[in-house]
Amino acid sequence: METEKRPNYLYVFMTLAVFTLIETLVSYMREAVIKIPILVILAVVKAALVLLYFMHLKYDSKVFSYLFIAGCLLSIPLILVLVVVMPMIL
């Protein structure tokens, strides 16, 4: 009988809290050229941690991960169209 090791949710939570603190400190920077990429990278890392551990995609069937990624990829053209069309409407 195989037993899976359960993730340490407190460790994941503390990691997310540290990343949030870093994001808060970075948000006070004046140089947008540096600030924006750092904030985007931190947001992606935090989203990945939440998806993998709190939404259990890390330990679930890979089919669910692929479906989730496909949905995210299919939403990109929709967002791009909205970004282009919304200024024309307003």
Q: What is the pTM of this model?
A: 0.71
Specify the pLDDT at position 12: 92
What digits encode the pLDDT tens for the residues 2-61?
566 777 899 999 999 999 999 999 999 999 899 999 999 999 899 989 988 888 888 888
Residue ranges of the domains in the chain? 1-59, 61-90
What's the confidence (pLDDT) of residue 90? 73
> What is the predicted pLDDT for the residue at 23?
96
How far apart, in whole angstroms, are the C-alpha atoms of residue 15 and residue 37?
Answer: 19
Q: What is the mean pLDDT of residues 67-90?
A: 87
